[in-house]
Structure 1
Amino acid sequence: MNIQTANHLFSNGTLSEMYKAGFITEKFFSYREIYLWVHSQMETRKLSKNKAVIEAQGKFQKDERTIWRAINSFSGTDTLVSPL
């Protein structure tokens, strides 16, 4: 799912209803927050994606692979994009 679709569904309450009905888990909201934070850091502080991912690890207390999964889940790619 791309981020624009997710943001639209979030703003009109559809995601909350889907969560209440059990169709999606909290992980979806976590991944969305991580994606938005990383993107924001890249835009406002002009960080590289790799640097933003490293900082996100500390902020969200998540493994680097989890941060990359969150980014990729909203970027419209099926493959994991990583500096490795």
Structure 2
Amino acid sequence: MLQNWKCGNPVSCAAGQAVLEAIKRENIQENCCLVGDYFLKEINNLQDKYECIGDVRGCGLMLGLDLVKNRETKEPNSELTSQIHEVSKD
């Protein structure tokens, strides 16, 4: 039964191909690396300035940081995280 199943839809394949071509043509990956490096540098500068930033990690534009009450104990600062989340939604 399943061996006769044809996978893939021509329209979906064409859309996927167009996306991959746009990524290559517009140098999106290179731009993500450049902007991500800048973003990471600036977040690290903030970490030097503010004790509430415990750890910074990631790659490209996919970065994460831990907001803590104390860097030594690494106790999460959920209140600050909630405040930043609310402000970022606005």
TM-score in terms of structure 1 length: 0.29
Question: Relative contact order (C-alpha < 8 Å, sep 6+): which is higher?
Answer: 1
Structure having the larger proportion of residues in helix = 1
TM-score in terms of structure 2 length: 0.27
